[in-house]
Amino acid sequence: MFSRILVANRGEIALRVIRACHDLGIEAVAVFSEADRGAPWLDVADRAICIGPALSAESYLKIPRIIAAAEVTGSQAIHPGYGFLSENSKFAEQCRASGIEFIGPPVTAMDALGNKDKSKTVAKAAKVPTVPGSDGLVETEEQARKFAHAVGYPVLIKASAGGGGRGMRVARDDDSLASGYSQARAEAEAAFKDSSVFLEKYLDRPRHVEVQLIGDQKGNVVHLFERDCSLQRRHQKLVEESPSPNLPDKVRRAMCDAAVRLAQKAGYYNAGTCEFLVDQQNNFYFIEVNARVQVEHPVTELVTGVDIIREQIRVAAGEKLSFAQKDVQQTGCAIEVRINAEDPAHDFRPSAGVVKVWRPPGGPGVRLDTHVCAGYRVPSNYDSMVAKLLVHRPTRAEAFATMRRCLREFRVEGIHTTIPILQTIFDNEAFIAGKVDTTFIERELMPKKG
Ligand code: ADP
């Protein structure tokens, strides 16, 4: 087992990983940019190293600095968290070439699954249903139009390298296809330095359901059941829960098996997520793999009792998974909400600044993953998430009651947060009945423009 791990991330996930290291008796080295100097999670680490200026490209994304930080501190492994370098196979390769273990999947699997159109090829080979789409990349607008006419509008133009909802455009006719095609390409080029796009049939009001996977280097891959992440704003998740409400057990089982099959086909190990869309007839379609730990992993930790970060570290060190598929059970209902420093009353504009009051909820069945405390300055340079609030209760109705109580209790002053919109969501009848889809928030809860 490793004795020292470098955590190549910031905020709540850095703290989460540091804690997992300490639980395993491993030292944790934190890295920070100048914008994060003095940040609270750095105190919890055994050592903290400045890796550059506020700009991510010069610090959290700067591969040579991170590897050098691991080398000078004698760290044997690097945990990338999510975002930043977590899905960068070149980073993984360079870590391993430098004799430092990258806590994540093998490079071959990252390459096979890291981009959306390639991963669909693997899915098809593993007999996992995919959304009808262009076979491979679409190189011209003419080709895009041909596909759209063949499958029928609406279609979705998707960046192959896409993430975080970027590089994605819905087209409902030839005109919006023409503009959407060039917009998606330009956005993808700007965000990912890769303008390649492909097309998919745009499903009508689907649900987003994803399967958590974990595998070891001895060929064992197990699933930890599903999470429903249908509540999204602009394709960004706001609320996640497990089990997925109203999902027939048969479909759940088939989906979990499909995810395991896909991972095995790709020779996958460590943690990953297989994302699916589920249509109104409960047909499911693979959309992508996230080859890393996800923001919403604690939802699964609560219902299964598996400490995913701990398992990630263990399997990266070459150990066998500490459980088999038959040992994994889904107990009760867990829900997570993302609390972001944003102002929902003003189109969710970011709300950086000093947190003056921070009084989080607590009590039975409540978990809060956060790096924030009173006096902390939320920098404007990074992701706006300030906390993940989770509840775990025997039933969904009880989980909702506890979540409502927690959102009422939570007091934050000094910055705006998404707590008010979350309160509205948890009072919504359709959501209470589990009848939501990925377009729900924009359709039902957003003030209509004009
Ligand atoms: P990203 O990697 O940018 O998050 P995904 O491929 O995971 O992109 O898709 C994000 C969200 O976009 C999905 O959860 C869903 O809401 C929507 N979406 C993606 N593909 C489709 C599709 N074919 N039809 C309808 N909605 C889709």
Decide whether any atom of ligand 1 lies within 6 Å of the 160 Cβ: no
Q: Provide the sign of the torsion angle of the four alpha carbons 129, 131, 134, 140, taken in this order.
A: negative
Q: For residue 38, give the CATH number of its domain.
A: 3.40.50.20
Q: Which residues contact 45 (CB under 8 A, 6 or more apart)?
A: 7, 18, 28, 29, 30
- CATH number of domain containing 173: 3.30.1490.20
Shared-domain flag, residues 211 and 195: no
Indicate whether 178 and 222 sit together in one domain.
Answer: no
Contact indicator for 84, 61 with CB cutoff of 8 Å:
yes
Task: Indicate whether residue 203 lines ligand 1 (CB < 6 A).
Answer: yes
Which atom of ligand 1 sits closest to the CA of residue 203? 24
* Separation CA 182–CA 65 (nearest Å): 36
Residues 348 and 405 both lie in one domain: yes
Q: Which of 82, 274, 438, 443 to mutate to test the pocket of ligand 1 (most atoms within 8 A of CB)?
A: 438
Q: Does 253 participate in catalysis according to the annotation?
A: no
Gap from CA of 393 to ligand 1 centroid (Å): 29
pLDDT score, position 162 = 86
What mean pLDDT is predicted for residues 119-125? 95
The confidence score (pLDDT) of residue 448 equals 58
Strand partners, 4: 27
Looking at the structure of the chain, the number of domains it has is 3
Tell which one of 158, 168, 288 to mutate to probe ligand 1, the residue whose CB is within 8 A of the most ligand atoms. Answer: 168
* Whether residues 313 and 435 fall in one domain: yes
Tell which one of 194, 234, 277 to mutate to probe ligand 1, the residue whose CB is within 8 A of the most ligand atoms.
Answer: 277
Q: Tell me, yes or no, whether 365 lies in a domain.
A: yes
Average pLDDT in the 158-173 region?
90
Question: What CATH number should be reported for the domain holding residue 235?
Answer: 3.30.470.20
**What's the pLDDT at 447?**
62
Residue 235's pLDDT is 87
Give percent above pLDDT 90 in the chain. Answer: 93
Do 329 and 220 share a structural domain? yes
Q: Are residues 186 and 319 in the same domain?
A: no
Report the nearest-CA residue for atom 11 of ligand 1.
Answer: 235
What local confidence, expressed as pLDDT, does residue 450 receive?
41
Between the CA of 98 and the centroid of ligand 1 the distance, in Å, is 36
Write down the pLDDT at residue 43.
97
Q: For residue range 316-328, list pLDDT tens digits in order.
A: 999 999 999 999 9
Which residue, 67, 93, 119, sits at the end of a domain?
93
Residue 320 Cα to ligand 1 middle (Å)? 33
Q: In the predicted model, what is the mean pLDDT of the chain? A: 96
212 and 68 together in one domain: no
What is the C-alpha separation between 120 and 15, in angstroms, rounded?
34
Same domain, 231 and 155: no
The catalytic residue among 292, 314, 338, 393 is 292
The CA distance from 181 to 139, in Å, is 10
pLDDT by residue (tens digit) across 40-88?
999 999 999 999 999 999 999 999 999 999 999 999 999 999 999 999 9
Same domain, 197 and 306: no
Domain membership of residue 121 (yes or no) is: no
Domain encompassing residue 154: 141-201
